[in-house]
Structure 1
Amino acid sequence: MFNRRTAILGTLASGLAAPALAQTAPPRIGSGTPVAGLPEPDETIDLWPKGAPGKIGPTIIETVEERSKEAALTDRAVHGITRPRLVVFRPRIPNGSAVLVTPGGGYVRVVIDKEGYEIGRWLAARGYTVFVLFYRLPGEGWAAGPNVALADAQRAMRIIRARAGDYGIMPDRVAAMGFSAGGHVAADLATRFAASVYAPVDAGDRLSARPDVAALIYAVQSMTPVLAHPGSRDLLIGPGASAALAAAHSTANNVSATTPPCFLVHAEDDPVVKVENSVEFRAACKRAGVPVETHLFTNGGHGFGLRRALGKPAEAWPELFTTWARTQGLS
């Protein structure tokens, strides 16, 4: 029987266990700490013990780029991911809940700092155990095509549940949180968690991939030409995709009564991902009877995360999320 006591004991025991098999290091540039006093995470979990399935086409090389021009404010992004993995942020005192974070990047890259590590540190400081997912990109030649990031997200959710005792978390208190194109990954997971998109590799794959709640932050949702973020659409389903394929990968069309409660955040003035993406998804939740909390801010633009929301009403969204999450049984 798994309960809070065994979860806590599992966390304590994990510090005494023999070292695990070597895991792929987090994506990084060099071996130093980019910002003094801000430690880089080191704990990772490879998703696929025998390597990610289904690589086709040219070989790709994982590459990390620094996009910031400020030495004290990193803004790294990674592409060419061949070893998808989780980077773990452990809280000092776990509250028993976990968050799987899928950063954005328009499906051309995965953002490391502003939609990954920054929210990871913020949530961990409040007791959440955070797993930032570096997922494969659909335009980089994978057999699963538009389902490749979903496969990684499903596998990640199952690994988190399989190892819940090691991290002091409850397997029925795991949220998914995604930003921009990573919001599409999280929404895909929330609506298509049971879709068969990869062959099981171990006993963990018998566990549910359904998140207990989903937080979709200025998320790409629609793949229809009218609402889609063009770059994400082209990389996910191709520029010449049929209307049927676009509909199949528009997350609002896949909302059902089994979709978990959802928390939506968007800015009305978002110039990149139209706010109607979230409005359409909310309407689908209402039709299906899925509890949904929606926050639409007048000002904020796109990609505000934590740092770009400062001084704006959108700055409140993380606290609004944790308050809402408590009403859903996460604390």
Structure 2
Amino acid sequence: MKNVWLSILGVFFFMTCYAQEREVIKLWQDSIPNAIENPDYKEIQTQKDSALWSVEKVKEPTLTIFAPEQPNGTAVVICPGGGYHHLAINKEGFKIAEWLNTRGITAFVLKYRMPNDSISTNKTIAPLQDAQRAMRYVRQNAKHWNLDENKIGVLGFSAGGHLASTLSTHYNDAVYESEYEVSARPDFSILVYPVISMKDGVTHQGSKTNLLGETPSKKTVEFYSNETQITSETPKTILIHATDDKSVPVENSLQYYLALKENKVPAELHIYEKGGHGFGLGRGFTSDDWPKACETWLDKNDL
């Protein structure tokens, strides 16, 4: 009987720890700014192997919290990719959070709104509103998770890399009225095969159209081409890309890196021969080494 109770307690302990590590919170506690009520617009979730794999039609943003057993004080807000159409939330969200947990980093997977005219008065700013809110929320509540409020970064993949670089260059933009006085500026950025530019010939057309619409003005294209928005205050950055990426040209990372260098922002760039697009933590190509390179960069920056 004693062994039975120990087993029950062990299961309860595991489930409690799992629930704590996977706590999900609503990003906006009251009303969502810039939102249009649309009951017909419903979130679509895709499951694979009994796990949430991807999400479409996001209109209620959340943060899923992955807390390591021994937090080192650093935190990362993760922005999964998906062309501003869906979120590859498992491969580019949950899996990445688990990897960060292994080195003591507390991870927050951001399920951000998809830019859509049927749920937003201005679809273009909706993802940035969510990213700013997520950064401010984590910083405001840093003590709750034993975090250093000066070691909170952002990590983004593909279109999520565009959102992460938009947050890194537009953190001061007044896109909503915040009740928090803390800054939305990330302390560092990790950009993996990111969409950076909205300019023809460099951008990922699907991401551009979904975010900016079919015929954006030149001013809007320039504004969201984040290689043109870098200043000396842009966060230090590590960029990861593959030369053979046929979806998001490597020039996106190259141009961002060169602009960081020009503005004397600490930057590191890793370009791999093979990896294609969407390689996540690895698919058997030379790009598989990027997590190790990133860990070294984090260590050398005391993160």
Q: TM-score, normalised by structure 2?
A: 0.89
Whether 1:47 aligns to 2:30 is no
Deviates more, 1:168-177 or 1:311-320: 311-320
CA distance in 1, matches of 2:111, 2:270: 27
Whether 1:177 aligns to 2:155 is yes
Tell me the CA shift for residue 75 of structure 1.
Answer: 6.8
CA contact (8 A) 1:107 1:139 kept: no
User: Helix, strand or coil: the match of 2:227?
Assistant: helix
| 1:243 corresponds to which of 218, 226, 231 | 218
CA distance in 1, matches of 2:198, 2:103: 35
Deviations 1:95-144 (CA, angstroms, capped at 9, x unpaired): 11111100001000111110000011111121110000000111253123
Tell me the CA shift for residue 326 of structure 1.
Answer: 2.1
User: Helix, strand or coil: the match of 1:101?
Assistant: strand
User: Helix, strand or coil: the match of 1:132?
Assistant: strand
| 1:154 corresponds to which of 132, 138, 141 | 132
CA contact (8 A) 1:219 1:278 kept: yes
| 1:90 corresponds to which of 59, 64, 67 | 67
Amino acid at match of 1:317: W
Whether 1:125 aligns to 2:134 is no
Unaligned runs of 5+ residues in structure 2 are 1-17
Amino acid at match of 1:327: K
CA contact (8 A) 1:75 1:111 kept: no
Percent identical = 38
| 2:89 corresponds to which of 108, 112, 119 | 112
The equivalent residue for 2:116 is: 139
Tell me the CA shift for residue 55 of structure 1.
Answer: 1.8
CA distance in 2, matches of 1:327, 1:303: 26
CA distance in 1, matches of 2:37, 2:204: 25
CA distance in 1, matches of 2:134, 2:230: 21
Deviations 1:155-190 (CA, angstroms, capped at 9, x unpaired): 101110111111011000111000000000100011
Tell me the CA shift for residue 57 of structure 1.
Answer: 7.0
CA distance in 2, matches of 1:57, 1:283: 42
| 1:257 corresponds to which of 232, 243, 248 | 232
Tell me the CA shift for residue 85 of structure 1.
Answer: 1.1
CA contact (8 A) 2:275 2:283 kept: no
Whether 1:223 aligns to 2:204 is no
CA distance in 1, matches of 2:200, 2:229: 18
Tell me the CA shift for residue 209 of structure 1.
Answer: 0.7
The equivalent residue for 2:208 is: 233
Aligned alpha-carbon RMSD (Å):
1.6
Deviations 1:181-215 (CA, angstroms, capped at 9, x unpaired): 00001000111111111112x2x2x1011111100
CA contact (8 A) 1:51 1:83 kept: no
CA contact (8 A) 2:161 2:193 kept: yes
Whether 1:317 aligns to 2:295 is no
The equivalent residue for 2:168 is: 190
CA distance in 2, matches of 1:61, 1:130: 27
CA contact (8 A) 1:75 1:114 kept: no
Deviations 1:68-117 (CA, angstroms, capped at 9, x unpaired): 5xx48x57111222221110001011111111100001000111110000
User: Helix, strand or coil: the match of 1:81?
Assistant: coil
CA distance in 2, matches of 1:109, 1:209: 24
| 1:213 corresponds to which of 183, 188, 202 | 188
CA contact (8 A) 1:54 1:144 kept: yes
Amino acid at match of 2:291: P
Tell me the CA shift for residue 63 of structure 1.
Answer: 1.4
The equivalent residue for 2:8 is: none
Q: Aligned pairs, how many?
A: 283
The equivalent residue for 1:291 is: 266
CA contact (8 A) 2:59 2:114 kept: no
CA contact (8 A) 2:171 2:184 kept: yes
User: Helix, strand or coil: the match of 2:116?
Assistant: helix
Unaligned runs of 5+ residues in structure 1 are 1-38
